[in-house]
């Protein structure tokens, strides 16, 4: 009997997890087709002159034991004193999380807290307005909130929303929050609120710290795991294991045609972007992480007119990271021993007079990301649309803009930039506007292909975190093993995955009990 073949489109976290799971749990042979030359997709690590960049920032944190254990099987956690991180490269560091908001040239905790420091920086009158606005939203919430603006106002009050959420969110998406669906807020911060942030702050001194932090809202976690050389190190490791176990990974292969026969996919055709040569890949099962819009355009069957219109109306937000090597930051951490580098991983720039949305300090993700630790290595994040004015600027122009904006808002002194590089990433964020409100129709139509599974962020047009993308791949492999063609359990993967795992455990126990009887 011939060995079954599975084609996996994309070598990001979802695609590589799927390939690894297939080799680990089945006798099937995966063929991974990756359009680029690198592993990890958005979760790759870019090496620029020995300085490593994490595109977008990837905390290795999950409420799913299944994902956490899988990570640690690939890359063990450092010992309690961190000594082994100097002895071996294949290690997870345990990092402290610190994110702050930069607003009116001042730092505020993220999530925003009602501390004396906050009162001092905002002023008592402003705090009274924020408190009154929040109370009003609690007593008189907007009924049937449909926009992201209404979601934020219900959750935080109008005053706090305008101060700490509006500018950054509109930079991310490029349109007013009043035109965005509330589903984005429900997807990304559904468990975060002022009351939860305050309760977390009160409980923190009495709560033992552990890696999983299952009782903690994702936005409030205080530590996370991180590969020594950035997220790409994990995915390069996984890719090596896939090859060692007999899987095939082909890079620079862009899928341009997906053959359909009835309710099944029969083959894909990919073009080598370097040579222009095409190759056809037949398989028994197919998993796709390619953008949904691109996928539907590649099918050899015409979708119904309403499905085609929904697909063409899907929208994406693109992303530019500017890596800057600095002599120092103007803003510093004041300690008894003197001033030193601030401890932030991320800083959200809530300033409307600059285009930058967020910056990362790579030194604080892992000291091993920086070639010369006496320097500061940062990533400035810009959100844009492919081919707009910012996207088409030269690298030199974008580096100059980034340096100018950092100096303008007082983060650096003019002349502190020693070097810089620019990374452009198209279709980083699947958007919750355009025709997204009708996406379920498109999803239902695609799910009818019984041997075809959509996984990952772009594959599902869903703003998944890395661990959720991995879980969609794991569940898809579960389905292949079980012969299940219903995809509803893949779409059910979300930020409350531990609930689904507990539910699944109960089902297993029930089945075992039924079998024993």
How far is CA 191 from each of CA 168, 231, 498, rounded to the nearest angstrom?
Answer: 19, 26, 14
In 3D, which of 453, 473, 492 has the Cα closest to residue 295?
453
Those residues whose C-beta lies under 8 Å from the C-beta of residue 340, and which sit 6 or more positions away, are 332, 333
Report the number of secondary-structure helices (H) and strands (E) in the chain. 20, 21
Contact 351, 102 (CB under 8 A): yes
φ, ψ of residue 474 in degrees (nearest 5): -60, -45
**Structure-block tokens of residue 122:** 């905002």
pLDDT at 517: 29
The predicted pLDDT at position 398 comes to 98
- Residue labelled with tokens 């808002």: 409
Q: What is the pLDDT of residue 235?
A: 98
Q: What is the pLDDT of residue 512?
A: 35
Residues in the chain: 517
Yes or no: say if 332 and 342 are a contact pair by the CB < 8 Å rule. Answer: yes
Q: What is the DSSP letter of 256?
A: E
* Continuous segment of H or E residues that includes residue 288: strand 285-288
Q: Which residue has the tokens 């899907």?
A: 314
pLDDT in tens, the chain (517 residues): 468 999 999 999 999 999 999 999 999 999 999 999 999 999 999 999 999 999 989 999 998 999 999 999 999 998 766 556 677 899 999 999 999 999 999 999 887 766 788 888 999 898 899 889 999 999 999 998 889 999 999 988 999 889 888 988 999 999 999 988 887 766 656 555 444 444 444 344 444 555 554 454 444 468 999 999 999 999 999 999 999 999 999 999 999 999 999 999 999 999 999 999 999 999 999 999 999 999 999 999 999 999 999 999 999 999 999 999 999 999 999 877 778 999 999 999 999 999 999 999 999 999 999 999 999 999 999 999 998 999 999 999 999 999 999 999 999 999 999 999 999 999 999 998 999 999 999 999 999 999 999 999 999 999 899 999 999 999 999 999 999 999 999 999 974 544 344 444 433 333 333 333 2
pLDDT for 337 equals 76
- DSSP letter (8 states) at residue 176: -
The answer to whether domain 5-41+232-314+433-516 and domain 43-61+76-98+316-429 are alike in fold is: no
- How remote is the C-alpha of 211 from its chain's centroid? 19
Q: Which CATH architecture has domain 43-61+76-98+316-429?
A: Alpha-Beta Complex (3.90)
At residue 366, the pLDDT reads 97
**Domain residue spans of the chain:** 5-41+232-314+433-516, 43-61+76-98+316-429, 110-204
CA-based Rg of the chain, rounded to a whole angstrom? 24
Pick the CATH number of 5-41+232-314+433-516 from 2.40.50.140, 3.10.20.90, 2.40.50.100, 3.50.50.60: 3.50.50.60
Three-state secondary structure call for residue 489 = helix
* pLDDT score for 514: 33
């Amino acid at each position: 009997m011939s060995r079954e073949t599975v084609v996996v489109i994309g070598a990001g976290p979802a695609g590589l997890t799927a390939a690894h799971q297939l080799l680990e749990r089945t006798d099937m042979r995966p063929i991974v087709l990756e359009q680029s030359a690198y592993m990890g997709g958005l979760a790759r690590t870019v090496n620029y002159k020995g300085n490593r960049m994490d595109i977008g920032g990837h905390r290795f944190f999950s409420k799913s034991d299944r994902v956490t254990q899988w990570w640690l099987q690939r890359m063990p956690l450092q010992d309690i004193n961190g000594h082994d991180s100097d002895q071996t490269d294949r290690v997870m560091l345990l990092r402290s999380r610190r994110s702050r908001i930069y607003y009116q040239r001042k730092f505020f905790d993220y999530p925003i807290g009602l501390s004396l420091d906050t009162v001092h920086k905002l002023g008592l009158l402003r705090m009274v307005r924020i408190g009154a606005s929040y109370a009003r939203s609690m007593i008189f919430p907007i009924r049937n909130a449909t926009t992201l603006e209404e979601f934020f106002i219900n959750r935080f009050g109008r005053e706090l929303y305008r101060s700490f959420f509006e500018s950054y969110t509109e930079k991310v998406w490029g349109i007013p929050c009043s035109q965005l669906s509330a589903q984005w807020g429900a997807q990304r911060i559904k468990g975060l609120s002022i009351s939860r942030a305050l309760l977390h702050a009160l409980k923190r001194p009495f709560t033992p710290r552990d890696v999983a932090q299952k009782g903690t809202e994702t936005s409030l976690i205080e530590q996370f795991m991180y590969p020594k050389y950035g997220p790409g190190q994990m995915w390069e490791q996984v890719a090596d294991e896939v090859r060692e176990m007999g899987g095939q990974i082909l890079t620079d292969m862009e899928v341009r045609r997906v053959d359909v026969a009835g309710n099944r996919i029969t083959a894909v055709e990919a073009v080598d972007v370097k040579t222009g040569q095409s190759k056809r890949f037949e398989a028994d099962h197919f998993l796709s992480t390619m953008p949904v819009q691109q996928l539907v355009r590649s099918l050899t069957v015409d979708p119904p007119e309403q499905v085609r219109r929904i697909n063409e109306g899907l929208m994406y937000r693109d992303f530019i990271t500017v890596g800057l090597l600095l002599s120092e930051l103007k803003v510093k951490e004041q300690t008894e021993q003197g001033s030193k580098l601030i401890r932030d991983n991320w800083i959200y720039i809530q300033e409307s007079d600059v285009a930058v949305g967020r910056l990362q300090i790579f030194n604080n993700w892992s000291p091993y990301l920086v070639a010369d630790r006496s320097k500061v290595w940062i990533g400035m994040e810009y959100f844009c649309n492919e081919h707009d004015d910012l996207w088409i600027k030269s690298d030199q122009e974008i580096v100059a803009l980034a340096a100018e904006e950092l100096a303008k808002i007082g983060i650096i002194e003019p002349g502190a930039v020693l070097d810089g590089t620019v990374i452009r990433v198209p279709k980083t964020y699947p958007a919750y506007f355009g025709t997204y409100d009708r996406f379920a129709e498109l999803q239902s139509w695609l799910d009818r292909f019984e041997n075809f599974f959509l996984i990952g962020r772009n594959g599902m047009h869903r703003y998944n975190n890395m661990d959720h993308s991995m879980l969609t791949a794991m569940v898809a492999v579960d389905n292949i093993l079980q012969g299940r063609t219903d995809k509803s359990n893949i779409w059910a993967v979300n930020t409350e995955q531990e609930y689904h795992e507990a539910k699944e455990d109960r089902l297993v126990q029930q089945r075992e009990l039924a079998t024993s009887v």
